[in-house]
Amino acid sequence: MSALRESLGFLANRLRQVGIFVALILIVLLLQGLTDGILLQPQNVTNLVVQNSYILILAIGMVMVIIAGHIDLSVGSIAGFIGAVAGVMIVHWGWSWWVAIPACLLVGALVGAWQGYWIAYVGIPAFIVTLAGMLIFRGLTLITLKNQQITPFPDELRALGGGFLPDISGGTSVLEWLTVILGVGATAAFLVQEVRQRRIRLKFNLENEPPAWFFTKIGFSALLMLVMTFLLASYRGTPIVLVVLAVLVVGYSAVMANSVFGRHIYALGGNLHAAELSGVKTRGVTFRLFVNMGVLSALAGLIFTARLNSAQPAGGTGFELDAIAAAFIGGAAVQGGIGTVAGAMIGGLIMGVLNNGMSILGLGTDYQQLIKGMVLLLAVAFDIFNKNRSGAGGVGKWFTFRRRTSPSADSRPVAEEKEPVAAAK
Amino acid sequence: MQTPILSMRGITKTFPGVKALQDVNLDVNRGEVHAICGENGAGKSTLMKVLSGVYPHSSFEGEILFEGEPCHFSNITDSEKRGIVIIHQELALSPYLSIAENIYLGNEQASRGWVDWQKTNLEASKLLARVGLSENPATPIQHITVGKQQLVEIAKALSKQVKLLILDEPTAALNDEDSGHLLDLILHLKGQGVTSIIISHKLNEIRRVADAVTIIRDGKTIETLRLEHGISQERIIRGMVGRDLESLYPDRDPQIGEEVLRIEDWSVQHPQDSTRMVVQNATITVRKGEVVGLAGLMGAGRTELAMSVFGRTYGHATSGRVLKNGREINTTTVPHAIENGLAYATEDRKHYGLNLIEDIQRNVSMAGLRKLVKRGWVDRNQETLVAEGYRKSMNIKAPSVAAVVGKLSGGNQQKVVLSKWMFSDPEVLILDEPTRGIDVGAKYEIYSIIATLAAQGKAIIVISSELPELLGICDRIYTLAAGRVTGEVPIEQATQETLMHYMTQEKE
């Protein structure tokens, strides 16, 4: 009886933390209804992934920057600049894609190093440095392009934006089998990993979540992965950007949760002075953070350019705001110290699904902007409301990727802790 | 004299899952100074929040009678209207505004929407005179000391026609002189008919000013002692911790070995003012298994000395040598200092010691995170096990190591700080005010931890403003005055008087 109550209480507590995830699902279902099922048609799902991939990639870097207590307003301009650089390298100079892509990422790293230097070593607030960067790199984009677009790009680069993994069944089957194999394989790997981690925690007698919750959670996640697989497989298969994105999300989630670098980022945002006095090389971490942001911006710029098949003077305009919005909807804290890559991805998807769904419905940009603005405001308001009530972490907290442990260790014991713990004694 | 101005009856305040207050009764007589004692987390602050309307009337059970009338406050403004003003431990002053502006913040002296500056400054200077502060009311708050800022807070309370003044640990951040002044002021206001409630951990202060003491433990009133029936320190301590403390300090059998750390000829300039030497030619040593105290008045340079040694985190143009086991070591950055076996637990754990929004395990692992790395990744199971180990051995009171540190009481937070530095496995620990803001029971635990560490062969330097504490736990005490080492006293010869003698002896 008490065990049941305990797990129910646990569930209520968790449900609030997964609120933003539930919100995404509700928005999808709502728009699915309103668009008479167009939203979740295989072709549209594929579009959704491809259209939003570069914003999601930027959101990965952005949530890291925000967790460290900074902000980056320049990512859109950097993405545009790198698009221009790619145009010059590939179209004007005739470089092959496998030279140009690493070269572009390197330029992104240098741009990031430039900004990181001013922020970390000179000590100018990131808001100012990246506001300046937004202007500087937009200017450089225009200079590089001489105010004209560069087009067309070779097919190899365009595949990065709109290409698919090869169809091994030769286009004869209803389902695209490579996608099925990848999707089912990933789902199985996910299940095995989760169960294995739970076993390890049981073995060490560490805190674990109630079995009911655990199995519901992984079951539901696995189901979603399989549905997604089916939808992609019944259209043209796996977009290449999805593979890139998946690798980045898994990799960066692991970095944020389990690497020294990632842990130092959280420490920086949580309490800069304490981090410094604990031996964290705060300047070095900040510098590397912006170098990383530069590389991800470059990658986003490449994908965007590849998708449009053109490097444009205004390319990337406004990307920074979408990326920032994604991070905050996904539960990152304005003061830093709280947030997850997975949360930012869900935040980005909410914005993406709204964009896509409302476009299908034929709503004009006027109403689209209005609604997206309200969603951002309400999402953060909801988060702050929760925090005020419980003092706990952001809603994205539950989605922390974990390499060796199950999510429970990360969950903040919220319900039982409204007051100093000693008071409970 | 014996009419109660305030009577709180059967106050019960429940947070989901926790009964923070249970049937608490408090009677405060008109014109008295009433102290409230209790361990951190006992419910003192919650009780004061109930009284001042921070928790609205509907959120708790019980009744409050103020001047004989029942009170139904729904916010602080309501209680201030009745003349109940609370001054929190963390002062609520705006550093860039002037003294006068701060006093009338939210209560501006204005006519038709425009501030009347003449009236503001004139009234402010009258209030400042009442609290015995001779400062120009136009001085920005950031330019006066914390002790004076505390007086400004009281002036602000007086501007609201205060009848009942509540002070939450008013002397926690003050030096002895300022504390003395503040306590005199409380007694002076008492003479003018202001009733005060004072929350304090410092038992000597309570004995000096209080007419009555109410002891709270685990959310319940234990007893109220009145001056006429005698207030004894032992009785208060017994009431607070629920047991007799045979001694305030644990017994030690010091096993002192070779010299481990030698700070030689150490000088530090003030970071902004190059004409000021904050530490001057200081030489101190500490041996294996030894607890060495650093005593000094405010501004003597104790914290500055420690922080400049620990990764040059304070000061400018630092010179001198740090030797460990006879060899000079590099302590120019914090990572170097940690690598070379130093640890420094700050006096300000909330701002410099802990990541309050993170959980216990992540705070514990912060300084020694690299020890948990396996094949490039942090081993989080190991991390949990390490933290769990400290939670048990240090007796950190929390439901689990996944508890957020910001929600723990001061004593438990301090244990987390100590765990963090123990995990970094230093040879020399510098503990700056290790028991500041901690209640008596937890203090004893911290002293025991220090004793255990010394017994394990660590060399420990303790910086403290409380002389009895240094006398209780140290083997040897250095005194500092104006940045110089003015004395080195073995514990056998040390008394409060001798230490104070050296601490006030400023050499030319």
Residues A134, A282: one domain? yes
If phi > 0 it is left, if psi is from -120 to 50 it is alpha, else beta; for residue B426 that is beta
Does A221 reach chain B within 8 Å, measured CB to CB?
no
What are the phi and psi torsion angles at B351 (to 5°)?
-95, -30
What is the chain A residue with the closest CA to B370?
A260
Regarding whether A335 and A187 lie in a shared domain, the answer is no
Last-in-domain residue among A214, A238, A262: A238
Q: Which CATH number belongs to the domain containing residue A55 in this structure?
A: 1.10.3470
Residue A422 confidence (pLDDT) above 50: no
Same-domain status, A30 and A44: yes
Diameter over CA atoms, chain A: 73
Report chain A residues whose CB lies below 8 A from the CB of B420.
278
Question: Which residue of A209, A278, A400 is the best one to mutate when testing the B interface, meaning the one whose CB has the most B CBs within 10 A?
Answer: A278
pLDDT at A76: 96
Q: Which residues contact B201 (CB under 8 A, 6 or more apart)?
A: B37, B169, B172, B437, B438, B439, B440
Q: What is the pLDDT of residues A227-284, one digit of tens each?
A: 999 999 888 888 999 999 999 999 999 999 999 999 999 999 999 999 999 999 999 9
Q: How many residues does chain B have?
A: 508
Note whether B43 contacts A: Cβ–Cβ < 8 A.
yes
- All residues of chain A having their beta carbon less than 8 Å from the beta carbon of residue B362 are 263, 266-267
Interface of B with A in 390-449 (CB under 8 A): 397-400, 402-404, 406-409, 411-412, 420, 424
How far does Cα A67 stand from its chain's mean position? 13
pLDDT at B444 over 50: yes
**A278 at B interface, C-beta within 8 A:** yes
What pLDDT score was predicted for residue A407?
Answer: 32
Q: Is A79:A300 a contact under the CB 8 Å cutoff?
A: yes
- Cβ atoms of B259 and B287 within 8 Å: the answer is yes
* Contact assignment for A423 to B399 by CB distance below 8 Å: no
Q: What is the 3-state secondary structure (H, E, C) of chain A?
A: CHHHHHHHHHHHHHHHHCHHHHHHHHHHHHHHHHCCCCCCCHHHHHHHHHHHHHHHHHHHHHHHHHHCCCCCCCHHHHHHHHHHHHHHHHHHCCCCHHHHHHHHHHHHHHHHHHHHHHHHHHCCCHHHHHHHHHHHHHHHHHHHHCCCCECCCCHHHHHHHHCECCCCCCCCCCCCHHHHHHHHHHHHHHHHHHHHHHHHHHHCCCCCCCHHHHHHHHHHHHHHHHHHHHHHHCCCCCEHHHHHHHHHHHHHHHHHHHCHHHHHHHHHHHCHHHHHHCCCCHHHHHHHHHHHHHHHHHHHHHHHHHHHCCECCCCCCCHHHHHHHHHHHCCCCCCCCCCCHHHHHHHHHHHHHHHHHHHHCCCCHHHHHHHHHHHHHHHHHHHHHHHHHHCCCCHHHHHCCCCCCCHHHHCCCCCCCCCCHHHHC
Hey, are the CB atoms on A420 and B41 less than 8 Å from each other? yes
> Can you tell me the distance from the alpha carbon of B29 to that of B68, in angstroms, rounded to the nearest whole number?
12
Domains of chain B are 4-241 (3.40.50.300), 249-341+426-508 (3.40.50.300), 355-425 (no CATH)
Provide the residue count of chain A: 425
pLDDT at position B504 over 50? yes
Rounded CA gap, A406 and A400, in Å?
9
Same domain, A232 and A248: no
Q: How many domains does the structure of chain A reveal? A: 2
Q: Is residue A100 scored above 60 in pLDDT? A: yes
- Tell me if A337 and B407 make a contact (CB, 8 A cut-off): no
- The answer to whether the CB atoms of B381 and A404 lie below 8 A apart is yes
One domain for residues A259 and A364: yes
CB contact, 8 Å: A8 with chain B? no
In a domain, A21, yes or no: yes
pLDDT, one tens digit per residue, over A60-95 is: 999 999 999 999 999 999 999 999 999 999 999 999
Q: How confident is the model at residue B200 (pLDDT cuts 50, 70, 90)?
A: confident
One domain, residues A217 and A276: no
Instruction: Please check the confidence at residue B230 and state whether its pLDDT lies above 80.
Output: no
Give which of A196, A277, A387, A402 to mutate to test B binding, by max B Cβ within 10 Å. A277
Segment among A322-326, B109-113, B191-195, B371-375 with least mean pLDDT: B109-113
What tokens appear for B125 in the block? 């200077």
Cβ <8 Å between A420 and B409: yes
Q: If we measure between CA atoms, which residue out of A395, A402, A17, A21 comes closest to residue A220? A: A21
User: Is B89 in contact with B61 (CB distance < 8 Å)?
Assistant: no
Judged by a CB distance cut-off of 8 A, whether residue A422 touches chain B is: yes
* Co-location of A252 and A154 in the same domain: yes
Instruction: Give the neighbor-by-neighbor strand order of the sheet with B259-269.
Output: B277-287, B259-269, B316-324, B327-328
Pairwise CA distance, residues A339 & A346, whole Å: 12
B358 to A422: CB separation less than 8 angstroms, yes or no: no
CA-only gyration radius of chain A, Å = 22
Q: Which residue's entry shows tokens 């065990």?
A: A3
Q: Using 50, 70 and 90 to split pLDDT, how confident is the model at B306?
A: very high
Chain A closest-CA separation from residue B300 CA (Å) = 22
If asked whether residues A145 and A173 sit together in one domain, one would say no
pLDDT tier, A417 (very low <50, low <70, confident <90, very high otherwise): very low
The pLDDT of residue B456: 93
- Cβ of A413 within 8 Å of Cβ of B399? The answer is yes
Is the residue at A289 inside a domain?
yes
**A65 touches A72 (CB < 8 A):** yes
Chain centre to alpha carbon of residue A1? 40
- Which residue from B minimizes the CA distance to A415? B16
Interface of B with A in 354-383 (CB under 8 A): 354-359, 361-362, 365-367, 369-370, 373, 376-381
Q: How does residue A413 score in pLDDT terms, banded at 50, 70 and 90?
A: very low
Same domain, A40 and A65: yes
Domain limits for position A20: 2-162+239-418
Are the C-beta atoms of B431 and B463 separated by less than 8 Å? yes
Question: Taking residues B290-296, what's their average pLDDT?
Answer: 93
Q: What is the pLDDT of residues B322-339, one digit of tens each?
A: 999 999 999 999 999 999
Mean of the pLDDT values across residues B114-127? 90
Of B59-63, B272-276, B443-447, least confident by mean pLDDT is: B272-276
Pairwise pLDDT comparison (B343 vs A423), residue with the higher score: B343
Q: Is residue A302 part of a domain?
A: yes
Interchain pair A258, B313: CB under 8 A: no
Token code pair at residue A221: 């996640």
ipTM of the prediction:
0.80
Last residue of a domain, one of A223, A238, A253: A238
Q: Is residue A314 part of a domain?
A: yes
What are the CB-based long-range contacts (under 8 Å, 24+) for B226-234? B231/B206, B231/B207, B233/B203, B233/B204, B233/B207
Q: Is the domain of A31 the same as that of A126?
A: yes
Predicted local distance difference test score (pLDDT) of residue A396 = 35
Task: Using the predicted structure, report yes or no on whether residue A1 has a pLDDT greater than 60.
Answer: no
Token couple for A162: 């709109």
Residue of A nearest to B406 (CA): A420
Site from B361, B366, B373, B383 to mutate, A interface, most A CB atoms within 10 angstroms: B366
Copy the structure tokens of residue A406: 């199950």
Span of A7-16, A230-239, B188-197 with lowest mean pLDDT: A7-16
pLDDT score recorded for residue A216: 87
Give a yes or no: residue A424 inside a domain: no
What is the pLDDT at residue A4?
60
- If asked whether residues A173 and A78 sit together in one domain, one would say no
Task: Give B223's contacts (C-beta < 8 A, 6+ positions apart).
Answer: B214, B215, B239
Determine the straight-line distance between the first and last CA of chain B, rounded to whole angstroms: 53
Same domain, A91 and A121: yes
Of A280, A409, A420, the CB nearest to B407: A420
Q: What is the mean pLDDT of residues A349-372?
A: 91
Q: Which of A217, A238, A259 is the last residue of a domain?
A: A238
The answer to whether B397 contacts A207, with C-beta atoms less than 8 Å apart, is no
